[in-house]
Amino acid sequence: MKISIIGIGLIGGSIALKLKEKGIASFIYGIDNNNTHLDEALNLKIIDAKVDLEYGIINSDLIIMAIPVDSTRNLLPTVLDLISENQTVMDAGSTKSGIIHSIKDHPKRPRFVAFHPMWGTENSGPTSAISNSFSGKAGVICNKEESAEDALHLAEKIIESLDMHLIYMNADDHDIHTAYISHISHITSYALANTVLEKEREEDTIFQLASSGFSSTVRLAKSHPEMWVPIFKQNKENVLDVLNEHISQLRKFKSALEKENYEYLEELILNANKIRGILDK
């Protein structure tokens, strides 16, 4: 199968590597505004050729869009305009409602399958791509009833080839869940980095003292705004809702400390400890 990947970065590159390794992709066209990324991807044999958008779309069976969610939203109608009824389009974005809404009246809507692989790192670009990235992680398909049966079937095959476990979800529910399982983590991590950078003017002290705990909590703060601003923008209401809850949770810690109410502090911590039972199932 010939596959075009629009956006040969961390996600697009990792998908390409895995689909070649599994023998699913016989030829991969890379499409990207960033020519350096295309050249890197060619050198790393992540893609077989770099092509322009129209050529790639017309000449492939499957088109996977792995670009920032606002770009997907803008470009998807054009991509659907260009394909035939035998081709399939998937995205890989972290928000789903806006993207799905943008094509809801498009005559080729059934050719699109809304996909979100629940994996990412703070790194970007094809040099960060890893073929086994997705193994064991959740691969979410949203609003599957709006996709044609054969398109859905192909997307499921792709997601299984990435070794992900399939989950079906309504797009609105997806955007609520990802707000607190993924998007809020990024905001707390960014805010934590800014807190430390604001309070700690001696960079050497941060570097010397930084423990594994700090590095782990602040890791996501390295993530690029090109990807994350559009996510926060498209999922604004849900993210704000969770952010307000998070600030009120932090205020409970503040109040417990201010009032020296250490029984309450212990209670808050014991409640947080329950996350162990859920994550380590």
CB of 171 to a second copy, least distance (A): 14
Contact set for a second copy, span 185-204 (CB under 8 A)? 185-200, 203
H or E element that contains 233: helix 225-234
CA distances for 28 relative to 19, 62, 77, angstroms: 9, 10, 22
Residue 243 within binding range of a second copy, rule CB under 8 A: yes
Distance CA 143, CA 137 (A): 20
Of 5-13, 24-32, 50-58, 184-192: span binding a second copy (CB under 8 A)? 184-192
Residue 138 within binding range of a second copy, rule CB under 8 A: yes
Of 1-9, 48-56, 60-68, 242-250: span binding a second copy (CB under 8 A)? 242-250
Of 59, 102, 121, 127, which lies in the binding site for a second copy, with binding defined by CB under 8 A? 121
Structure tokens belonging to residue 118: 């629940």
Distance CA 120, CA 11 (A): 7
The candidate with the shortest Cα–Cα distance to 61, out of 161, 168, 155, 165, is 155
Distance CA 11, CA 28 (A): 14
CB of 151 to a second copy, least distance (A): 23
CB of 245 to a second copy, least distance (A): 5
CB of 147 to a second copy, least distance (A): 21
CB of 153 to a second copy, least distance (A): 22
Please tell me the count of residues contacting a second copy according to CB under 8 A. 92
Check residue 181 and report its DSSP letter.
I
CA distances for 278 relative to 101, 135, 138, 266, angstroms: 33, 20, 15, 20
Q: For a second copy, what does the binding mask look like between residues 246 and 275, x meaning CB under 8 A?
A: xx-xxxxxx--xx-x-x--xx-xxxxxxxx
For a second copy, give the closer residue by CB, 44 or 138. 138
